[in-house]
């Protein structure tokens, strides 16, 4: 491999300072690799928006440098942006087998997709980079980390990972394999921060199995298990339990049905001929039924929400039904899921959550697992990835506790550029990041244009005796994703509006017009759409 020792740029386009939308750029010597291309689900009020993905302006401007898109695993927060990305850029994709099958099921609006199914035993030459995938434990088959070789040392990206010695699917965590990664110097370790605030170790699948078996074996009525559609390990677990409890298993929800079929075809899921189509399963006695359903995040089109609203086409909730919530709630989705649970109880169901009993374990390592990872790999530099700012900060602090020097641990968010060489690393600048709203056809949603359901309300107190007229300015948003980047943006808008100069004899209408014009110009420039701006003023 002939790489000149030169600075390596690490540029997160999504996933740092937020949950989801994971996308990372690795750049050196006029060549660029992308790790993952994920999305996140919109707030309920964003009508017509199916998925939110990272802004890819930087990739479009540097498309000639792109050598490949490297996928760690098949969860939507790592692959949802692929249809839009390959529609706009010709990018060769390298992905594990299970992720490849999920990607192929997507609406790929191109006649040919350059996609390679990787083998973890193989090292791939991609441009001037040597790239190797390594197996990790997570909640979906074929989950991997990625090791990129450079002359400055290895760059290791964990993907989503945990350490589990008793997984339901896949191999136990291979600590020796992780330690082998340290045979060559690790210039940078980028590690999953999702559970960095949590003490101890994540629960094993074995503990969840025992708890769910205990619950279901004592239940007399129908059992509904609500989980992520891509949580194949939970499907396998419930299938085992169904067999032990002499119940049949069925699936409700298009994405869950699709994923179960892919998993069976690839031999990652063995239902032991104990599954039935939903219509047939519903004809059985109640004590012989287990139905796995989508909706663990309160998605409006999911089976769980349809059941809670009593408008599912095939199933109606009745007394003695038990609904087990077997997933963690992603921050920001609490209101929707709590409403669905409340409505299910109102209809007569018993709802069991992870707060009552162990019904779920995370696929992300906690503090002790991160500590073990750091001590095994012994990286020169460390970058927390995948998480809200507080999660990144907890991971950042943990790395320093593990003995990595302060100047070698970095805390950056989407759009910031980390540059590394053999001697030092530094945050050298930033690029325009942001997000794109897509509809069901992976086209840019109307929310990127003028939209009366998206915008800001600006409340102003005007004091004509004051030098700058404004006593106070408060900004409230609606239909705009409430992430850290947008919060900072609205804070900046408030500062700009407060700094505007007006004549003391300006009329209220003149003030409102100027405020609206300045706000629209700022938001259009920074959010790439023209929002609705409502000005509410009061004279004091």
Active site residues: 192, 364
Tokens encoding 13: 């386009």
Three-state secondary structure call for residue 523: helix
425: CB partners within 8 A, 6+ apart: 188, 381, 407, 408, 410, 418, 419
- Output the DSSP codes for 100-155: HHHHHTS---SS---EEE--TT-EEEETTEEEEEEE-B-SSSS-EEEEEEETTEEE
Three-state secondary structure call for residue 196: coil
User: Is residue 497 within 8 Å of 513, Cβ to Cβ?
Assistant: no
Instruction: List C-alpha distances in Å: 510 to 216, 288, 456, 507.
Output: 67, 70, 19, 5
Ordered strands of the 144-150 beta sheet? 123-126, 129-135, 144-150, 153-157, 186-192, 381-385
Please list, residue by residue across 54-72, b when 16 or more beta carbons sit within 10 angstroms of its beta carbon and e when fewer do: bbbebbeebeebbbbbbbb
Question: Do β-strands 186-192 and 153-157 pair in parallel, antiparallel, or remain unpaired?
Answer: parallel
The alpha-helical segments, DSSP class H, found in 126-231 are 175-180, 205-217
Q: Rounded to whole angstroms, how far apart are CA atoms 54 and 72?
A: 17
Residue whose tokens read 């070789």: 149
Closest CA to 153 of 377, 417, 486, 421: 421
Q: Rounded to whole angstroms, how far apart are CA atoms 516 and 532?
A: 9
443: CB partners within 8 A, 6+ apart: none
Instruction: List C-alpha distances in Å: 102 to 85, 141, 229.
Output: 16, 11, 12
237: CB partners within 8 A, 6+ apart: 168, 205, 208, 209, 212
- Output the DSSP codes for 330-396: PTT-HHHHHHHHHHHHHTT-EEE-TTTS-----SS--HHHHHHHHHHH--SEEEEESB-HHHHHHHH
For 480, phi then psi, to 5°, come to: -110, 130
User: Is residue 141 within 8 Å of 338, Cβ to Cβ?
Assistant: no
């Amino acid at each position: 491999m002939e790489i000149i020792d030169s600075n390596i740029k690490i540029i997160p386009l999504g996933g740092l300072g937020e949950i989801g939308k994971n996308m990372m750029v690795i750049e050196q010597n006029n060549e660029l690799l992308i790790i993952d291309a994920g999305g996140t689900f919109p707030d309920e009020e964003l009508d017509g928006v199916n998925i939110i993905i990272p802004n890819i302006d930087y990739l479009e401007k540097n498309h000639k440098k792109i050598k490949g898109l490297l996928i760690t695993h098949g969860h939507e927060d790592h692959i949802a942006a692929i249809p839009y990305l390959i529609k706009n850029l010709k990018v060769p994709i390298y992905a594990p087998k299970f992720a490849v099958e999920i990607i192929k099921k997507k609406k790929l609006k191109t006649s040919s997709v350059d996609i390679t199914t990787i083998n973890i035993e193989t090292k791939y030459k991609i441009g001037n980079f040597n790239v190797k995938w390594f197996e990790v434990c997570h909640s979906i088959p074929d989950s991997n980390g990625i090791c990129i070789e450079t002359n400055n040392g290895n760059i290791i990206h964990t993907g989503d990972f945990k350490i589990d010695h008793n997984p339901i699917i896949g191999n136990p965590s291979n600590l020796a394999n992780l330690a082998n990664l340290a045979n060559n110097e690790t210039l940078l370790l980028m590690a999953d921060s999702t559970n960095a605030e949590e003490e101890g170790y994540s629960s094993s699948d074995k503990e969840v199995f025992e708890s769910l078996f205990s619950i279901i074996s004592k239940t007399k009525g129908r059992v509904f298990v609500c989980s992520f559609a891509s949580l194949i390990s939970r499907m396998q677990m419930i299938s085992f339990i169904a067999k032990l409890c002499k119940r049949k298993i069925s699936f409700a929800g298009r994405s869950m049905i699709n994923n179960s079929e892919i998993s069976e075809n690839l031999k990652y899921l063995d239902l032991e001929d104990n599954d039935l189509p939903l219509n047939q399963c519903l004809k059985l006695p109640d004590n012989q039924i287990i139905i796995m359903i989508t909706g663990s995040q309160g998605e409006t089109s999911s089976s769980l929400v349809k059941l809670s609203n009593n408008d599912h086409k095939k199933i109606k909730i009745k007394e003695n039904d038990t609904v087990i919530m077997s997933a963690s709630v992603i921050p920001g989705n609490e209101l929707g899921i709590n409403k669905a649970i409340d409505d299910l109880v109102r209809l007569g169901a018993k709802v069991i959550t992870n707060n009552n009993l162990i019904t779920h374990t995370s696929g992300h390592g906690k503090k002790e697992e991160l500590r073990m990872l750091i001590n095994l790999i012994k990286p020169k530099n460390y970058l927390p990835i995948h998480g809200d700012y507080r999660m990144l900060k907890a991971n950042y602090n943990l790395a320093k506790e593990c003995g990595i020097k302060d100047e070698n641990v970095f805390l950056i968010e989407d759009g910031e550029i980390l540059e590394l060489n053999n001697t030092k690393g530094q945050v050298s600048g930033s690029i325009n990041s942001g997000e794109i709203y897509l509809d069901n056809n992976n086209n840019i949603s109307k929310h990127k244009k003028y939209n009366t359901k998206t915008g800001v309300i600006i409340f102003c107190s005007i004091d004509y005796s004051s030098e700058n007229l404004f006593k106070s300015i408060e900004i409230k948003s609606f239909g705009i994703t409430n992430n850290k980047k947008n919060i900072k943006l609205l804070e900046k808008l408030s500062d700009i509006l407060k700094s505007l100069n007006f004549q003391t004899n300006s009329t209220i209408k003149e003030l409102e017009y100027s405020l609206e014009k300045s706000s629209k110009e700022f938001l259009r420039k920074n959010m790439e759409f023209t929002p609705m701006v409502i000005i509410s003023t009061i004279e004091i």
